[in-house]
Amino acid sequence: MARNHTKRRNAPGPAGQDGSPRPLQDRPRERSGGGDGEGWLWGTHAVVAALANPSRTCHMLLATENAAARLGPARITPEIILGKDLDNRLPPGAVHQGLALKVAPLNPSSLEDLIDRDISRICVLDQVSDPHNLGAIYRSAAAFGFNGIVLQTRHAPPITGVVAKAAVGAIETVAEARVVNIARALEQLADAGYHTVGLDGGGPRILADAVAGAPKIAIVMGAEGSGLRPAVAKACAELARIPMTEVMESLNVSNAAAIAFYEASREGFPPR
């Protein structure tokens, strides 16, 4: 993986908050809720968040006796099950913490829906394919006010239990849109007033300067290893880099995303 998680490339010339998290609803296309584990979500945070989302249809809740006691009252009655039996219902290695929830998939937003909802911070992922990275990006997006994620209809993983576990509940509040063509989606975002910034180790400006003062931002992240594809890089208003020391060539895409989201949102954080 090249420096700052994307390949260096010649940057195109540069050009020229508040969508709060809310439950996902009224979406036109189905978003995969299963496939890996046949529609199951697992782990405390993922299950609790799904149960709290009124737009999420929940079919069956399995819990060990201890996990059910920790969970307390839920909108569906849990079926008490032994931990070893729960292991057998889920993919190998699933860290379920005694809880699993069978759900119907959520419906994703369209890109137009994200724009119409006036979500001011959007992440665009260009063929990021690892489900653990995708889940971690959802988690960071929710933490730093990026309330929309745009993925390609192909070359992007479905939202499985693995993604949901890594996202620790963020798939219930961060809206997802799937598009056929990422470059065209960036043009549409630019027309709607978003400053589109692609992360690239060879970007001419540092990220902090590229995002400063922009009221609406779309951060574009490239695939693990290969980085932004040329057509996607060209469609960005500018490319920017995360400054790093020379001792490390690159960052994992989910780590780079967390830094980028923080940098793009820190001016708008309310005092705590």
pTM listed for this prediction? 0.83
Distance CA 153, CA 272 (A): 38
- Tell me how far apart the alpha carbons of residues 185 and 196 are, in angstroms, rounded to a whole number: 10
* CA-closest candidate to residue 148, choices 33, 6, 237, 19: 19
- Report the alpha-carbon distance of residue 198 to residue 219 in Å, rounded: 6
Provide the mean pLDDT of the chain: 85
pLDDT of 20 over the 80 cut: no
Which of the four pLDDT bands, split at 50, 70 and 90, describes residue 154? confident
To which H or E segment does residue 175 belong? strand 175-179
pLDDT tens digits, one per residue of 87-121: 999 999 999 999 999 999 988 789 999 999 989 99
Q: Is residue 214 over pLDDT 80?
A: yes
Q: Which domains does the chain have, with CATH numbers?
A: 3-21+108-268 (3.40.1280.10), 40-103 (no CATH)
Cα angle 165, 55, 164 (rounded to 5 degrees) comes to 10
Given a cut of 70, whether residue 125 has pLDDT beyond it is: yes
Q: pLDDT at residue 162 above 90?
A: yes
Residue 118 CB: number of other CB atoms within 10 A? 12
pLDDT band at 11 (very low <50, low <70, confident <90, very high): very low
Measured in Å, how far apart are the chain's first and last C-alpha atoms?
37
Residue with tokens 């693990």: 224
